[in-house]
Chains A and B, each alone.
Chain A
Amino acid sequence: MDTITQIRLLETMLRVRKAELQLAIMYKNGKVPCAAHLYEGQEAIAAGICDHLRHDDCITSTHRGHGHCIAKGMPIKKMIAEVSAKKTGCCGGKGGTMHLFMPEVGVMGTVGIVGGGIPIATGIGLAMKMQNTDRVAVSFFGDGAANNGSFHESLNLAALWKLPVIYICENNLYATSVAVWRSTPIPDIGIRGSAYGMPGVTVDGNHVDEVYAAMETAVARGRAGEGPTLIECKTYRIRGHFEGDDAFYRTKEEVAEARKRDPIDYWKAHLIANGAITEETFEAMSAKADEEVAEAAAFADASPYPEPESALLLSGNPA
């Protein structure tokens, strides 16, 4: 991986992290009128996967999808404005966090229904194949979704028809309040790829270099028409399932232990060690991301809500 890519990955992770922490503050202060499921601690996955995607590739995402949208190219201000239910958001303020769409950058929806984005990405992959393109579709989902019927049906069809779809299972160890070991009898969800006749790999989702390398192979395979890949990225959901979740089902010690494996700390240390950046460069990158996020929050704050008379219009932003 070249130095520019290494730095770009760090930049993406920082932008995602800062945006999520900003939303946490906005939520507490009554500026987010819907639930907020934040992505802190999982940034390496969105960054490492989406870095391989072109503008015309597509993703589907989940209730925990802000990071995927940012990494795929949605401007942070369009995301924060949407989550704040403002007219200037990517869906005119009517979608909110669990319906973030921006087809022009390939964000084909964050889907609130668990496992709901998997068949959508599979259908997009089918369309891409039928149109004889070398585009790929990516579906992000969690460990809980990997036990849904939509997962099985989609992976089976995608392998049968050699669709250019990459399935990214972000195993953050919790499906809402259910620990993965309570619901899933195998240690690695990645091995399920073999059940469908597709490559299935498991990587450390907190190590962006591992995620990036696995995706490199999967994207090449997809673009070459060789079919889908399942990538399981092991990570940890640092925050509660939603903001305001008291997380009674796990200990504070467990969370503190997981924080020691922070993906940004890991990558920062790696880049400083190999000379790609210095502590000063990191601080400058961090400040730049802070500035972008503060501007996005101010933009959302200053934006109006959609007018009541636009209620029946699709986006609230008539052309």
Chain B
Amino acid sequence: MAQVVVMPRMGQTMEEGTIVEWKKNEGDTVTQGEVLLTIQSDKSELEVESDVSGVLVKILATPDSGEIPCLDPIAVIGDPGEEVDVDQVVSDFLAKRG
């Protein structure tokens, strides 16, 4: 099932982060624990690993997006071969998050 990747909260004082570089492209296969991207937090530059294995279906935010609030969606990962309605997945995620 498709899952949303969020801007992680990597510290108690971190409210937003910026994307430094995506290490994966849309369409790439990713495995759990593999580095997806690097971000700049309020304190340091950090690698963000994938929580799940699958295919990086959609990148929603880039280094040009500026500061992104923690826990906001930045990408969607789906199962191999899965037809993913990205807008639906993101809106479901946001509705559930409240």
Chain B interface secondary structure, helix, strand, loop or mixed?
loop
Chain B hits for A243, CB < 8 A = 10
Bound-state CA distance A33–B9 (Å) is: 10
For A248, list chain B residues within 8 Å (CB): 44
Residues of B12-63 whose CB lies within 8 A of A: 12, 14, 41, 43-46, 48, 51
Q: Does B6 reach chain A (CB closer than 8 Å)?
A: yes
Does B78 sit within 8 A of A, measured CB to CB? Answer: no
A contact set with B: CB distance below 8 Å = 25, 27-30, 33-35, 243-244, 246, 248
What is the bound-complex CA distance between A248 and B44, given in angstroms? 10
- Inter-chain contacts of A244 with B (CB < 8 A): 10-11, 14, 41, 43, 46
Is A246 a contact partner of B51 (Cβ separation < 8 A)?
A: no
Q: Which residue of B lies closest to A33 (CB)?
A: B12
A246 touches B9 (CB 8 A): no
Per the 8 Å Cβ criterion, residues 58-82 of B in contact with A are: 70-71
User: How many angstroms between the C-alpha atoms of A246 and B41 in the bound complex?
Assistant: 10
Number of interface residues of B (CB under 8 A): 16
B45 and A28 within 8 A (CB): no
| B8 near A28: Cβ-Cβ < 8 Å | yes
Cα separation A34 to B11 with both chains bound (whole Å): 8
Report yes or no: A28 in contact with B51, Cβ–Cβ below 8 A: yes
Q: Kindly provide the distance from the CB of A53 to the nearest chain B CB, expressed in whole angstroms.
A: 32
Residues of B within 8 A of A246 (CB): 43-46
B45 touches A29 (CB 8 A): no
Residues of A within 8 A of B10 (CB): 27-28, 243-244
Contacts of A28 in B (CB 8 A): 6, 8-10, 48, 51
Determine the chain A residues whose CB is within 8 A of the CB of B9 once the complex forms. Answer: 27-30
CA distance A248 to B6 in the complex (A): 24
Interface centre among B6, B45, B51, B71 (most CB of A within 10 A): B51
A28 to B37 Cα, complex, angstroms: 14
Residues on the A chain within 8 Å of B12, using CB:
33-35
